[in-house]
Structure 1
Amino acid sequence: MASVDLINLEKTYGGGFRAVHGINLNIADGEFMVLVGPSGCAKSTTLRMVAGLEEITGGEVRIGGKVVNSLSPGERSIAMVFQNYALYPHMKVRSNLAFGLKLAGVPKPEIRKAVDEVAAILEIEPLLDRLPKQLSGGQAQRVALGRALIKKPGVFLFDEPLSNLDAKLRASMRVRITELHKRLKTQGLSSTVLYVTHDQTEAMTMGDRICVMQGGHIMQVADPKTLYNRPANLFVAGFIGMPEMNLIDGRLDGDAFVLGDQRLPLDLSRLPRRPAQAVLGVRPQNLTPGATGLTGTLAHVEFMGHDVNLHVDIGPARMVATMPAADFDRLDRAGDRVTLTPDPSALHIFDKDSGDNLSL
């Protein structure tokens, strides 16, 4: 196993565009760290600098405590899994798995043993004599995992590995990858993972910790529960969670949040300061129809199976509340007035100018 440390890491391209802004990140031995963020946030660029596929223009990458800035990818004790699998189309699965060991001059009996062990771990023994074109997307991705695993690297790097799979396969592969990570960890084998995705579901269900990125900056690093319950700023609050957190512009007046002509009483005693412009944050799951709160017009209803999402227009703002579908029959239909009551313990107050969460 090996730790990964990014120290003041920067990436500036020839035209002067600064893609990565001196970020710092520590990934412990055996940790599953996910880089998540929207397209263009530099998460893949960061991963490629760790891999040695992208030149580092400032700062350091350390793997196992060793600075690797000047080392080639092959010298960094890493293995990479891409979204396009990158299997050799003319080679059967067995040969694809064995190729790296063959190049390294590993004796044939050891290669056969390693291939059999990896195939058993990933349950791909029946696929060993097939060509890549004879594999499904999920099967091909398992072979790609096997080719990385067989190298016994210090660090696994995943770059959007599930983005080409359908929803059902993505769900099953998420479980396979996380279970594999746990299994390797218990066996004392290579299990440090840096995983890049734009999909917050992958991030929240797979990562020990998650690094949320935007515009080449790190916005927050925390475990999934902390990110969801205690987002550090407006960006994280709006990015993490589905449906996303309601973020409503307003102002603080006395002990209330004011939205138009409505006042929502709040306990603001713990706020470190009172911003000139405030944003109220509350997750849809923490809003329920009630007698007190914020009142608006029910504009739209989404039936989600077990739950329904109520879209309610409150002045210039729209809020979404999630409730059990069984309870929806107690409400009037679209076009009628609805009052949404927030859970006081689940409210967030953000400074609109700085984006900081003042409720932490």
Structure 2
Amino acid sequence: MARLQLRNLEKDYGGFKAVHGINLDVNDGEFMVLVGPSGCAKSTTLRMIAGLERVTGGEIRIGDNLVNDKAPGERGIAMVFQNYALYPHMKVRKNLSFGLRLKRRPKDEIEQATRDVSNILEIGDYLERLPKQLSGGQAQRVAVGRALIKKPQVFLFDEPLSNLDAKLRASMRVRITDLHKQLKADGLQSTVVYVTHDQTEAMTMGDRICVMKEGRIMQVADPVTLYNRPANAFVAGFIGSPEMNLLEADLADSTLSIGSQRLPLGSDVMARLSQTAAKRLTLGVRPQHFRVAGSDEAGTLAGKVSHVEFMGHEVYLYVKVEGSQVIAVVPSAQYDRSKISGDTVYLAPQSENIHLFDRVSGENISLAKLD
């Protein structure tokens, strides 16, 4: 069993608290992604799991074992670093097998394991090359292979794709997720904790995603839930591309005041509000949830178009609404230039996809379930 548990985990650097008592369960065989902006302590958390950073408070359990005071090599983990960390003087074959040779495993076992891993990752042709003779993608696959050959309980990835170009990152995302699925299908240990600042990696790779900010967990959920039901304004603004539009608003009865404009809320939106709904709010609408409306339609926000980007199947409209920039993403087939009067456009948000956040706490108060 390779379940990972973090309980009230803390990290203090002599008065600066980097990690604030986080709690997280990673299930056996799960692909968990830690994501957040630079400085949110996601890598620090990973390094504490690995035993590379001392734990200030709380517990780390891998399987049934408390590992706080265990050395990295005794924790049943294998880590893939951002810079690959291959031994430059060793050929790929020896880089892959180094951990097994260190444990004095039998020679035939080492050779078989090396063949198996090189076949899985398609690096058999590179076994006699030095790391300097490999491309970035090849070197990364060797680094993954060196972790895989150890058959650890938990795989740890620390921003492993950040040094690759965009095309190679996309292909490596697929390789790593396919490898995870293959390990699960074969009944092998496949628990993964993967750190990235790239929300595209997080959304496409993770079974669940842990969104972090300033050493605290903001939300843990699957990608669909994070996108459709963000727990707070931070998650709403961080997850999604382009990011969610957030506008300050005041609620009176069933109408939002956004600067000088009024946006009536339908009964479906009002039914979703929590009973303690605040009056000073932030309106959240994803760019894909706006429609370009006519000037005579109700329930719209008027703004000035500052820029238009044609992206092939979509059009990005950059619109100034009450001093704030709003982005609307419209399918090219539905983009009607005639509905823009001069540089003025009327945007109608989809009622069912409106989010309302408490302006003070940031909490999403529009997630209450309908009875």
Do the two structures share a fold, i.e. TM-score over 0.5? yes
Aligned to 2:288: 285
What are the residue-to-residue correspondences of 1:160-199 with 2, within 5 Å? 160-199=159-198
What are the residue-to-residue correspondences of 1:239-258 with 2, within 5 Å? 239-258=238-257
Unmatched 5+ stretches in structure 2: none
Read off the aligned partner of 1:11 and give its amino acid letter: K
Matches of 1:50 and 1:331, distance apart in 2: 57
Aligned to 1:346: 353
Q: CA deviation at 1:32?
A: 0.3
Partner SS state of residue 269, structure 1: helix
Aligned to 1:144: 143
Q: CA deviation at 1:302?
A: 1.8
Cα–Cα, structure 1 residues 43 and 335, in superposed 2: closer, same or farther, change >3 Å? Answer: farther
Aligned to 1:8: 8
Aligned to 2:277: 274
Corresponding residue pairs, total = 359
Q: CA deviation at 1:335?
A: 5.4
TM-score normalised by L of structure 1: 0.97
Partner SS state of residue 118, structure 1: helix
Read off the aligned partner of 2:289 and give its amino acid letter: N
Matches of 1:204 and 1:334, distance apart in 2: 37
Matches of 2:320 and 2:331, distance apart in 1: 20
Residues 118-137 of structure 1, C-alpha deviation per residue, up to 9 Å, x if partnerless? 00000111111111111100
Q: CA deviation at 1:257?
A: 1.1
Matches of 1:36 and 1:114, distance apart in 2: 32
Matches of 1:335 and 1:75, distance apart in 2: 68
Matches of 2:13 and 2:317, distance apart in 1: 46
Read off the aligned partner of 1:320 and give its amino acid letter: I
Given the alignment, which residue of 267, 292, 296 partners 2:303? 296
Partner SS state of residue 109, structure 1: helix
Larger deviation, residues 238-247 vs 328-337: 328-337
Matches of 2:259 and 2:7, distance apart in 1: 46
Read off the aligned partner of 1:284 and give its amino acid letter: P
Cα–Cα, structure 1 residues 280 and 130, in superposed 2: closer, same or farther, change >3 Å? Answer: same
Q: CA deviation at 1:258?
A: 1.1
What are the residue-to-residue correspondences of 1:217-228 with 2, within 5 Å? 217-228=216-227
What are the residue-to-residue correspondences of 1:35-54 with 2, within 5 Å? 35-54=34-53
Unmatched 5+ stretches in structure 1: none
Read off the aligned partner of 1:48 and give its amino acid letter: R
Aligned to 1:213: 212
Residues 261-291 of structure 1, C-alpha deviation per residue, up to 9 Å, x if partnerless? 2111113233122313111001000001013
Aligned to 2:83: 84
Q: CA deviation at 1:114?
A: 0.3
Larger deviation, residues 320-329 vs 75-84: 320-329
Aligned to 1:19: 18
Is the 2:290–2:328 Cα contact (8 Å) retained in structure 1? yes
Read off the aligned partner of 2:191 and give its amino acid letter: T
Matches of 1:11 and 1:159, distance apart in 2: 18
Is the 1:298–1:334 Cα contact (8 Å) retained in structure 2? no
Residues 206-265 of structure 1, C-alpha deviation per residue, up to 9 Å, x if partnerless? 000000000000000000000000000010000000000000001012211111221111
Is the 2:157–2:193 Cα contact (8 Å) retained in structure 1? yes
Cα–Cα, structure 1 residues 334 and 44, in superposed 2: closer, same or farther, change >3 Å? Answer: farther
Matches of 1:192 and 1:217, distance apart in 2: 22
Is the 1:301–1:334 Cα contact (8 Å) retained in structure 2? no
Is the 1:252–1:274 Cα contact (8 Å) retained in structure 2? no
Read off the aligned partner of 1:36 and give its amino acid letter: V
Is the 1:208–1:224 Cα contact (8 Å) retained in structure 2? yes
Q: Percent identity?
A: 67
Aligned to 1:126: 125
Matches of 1:278 and 1:2, distance apart in 2: 43
Matches of 1:307 and 1:345, distance apart in 2: 22
Matches of 1:213 and 1:330, distance apart in 2: 40
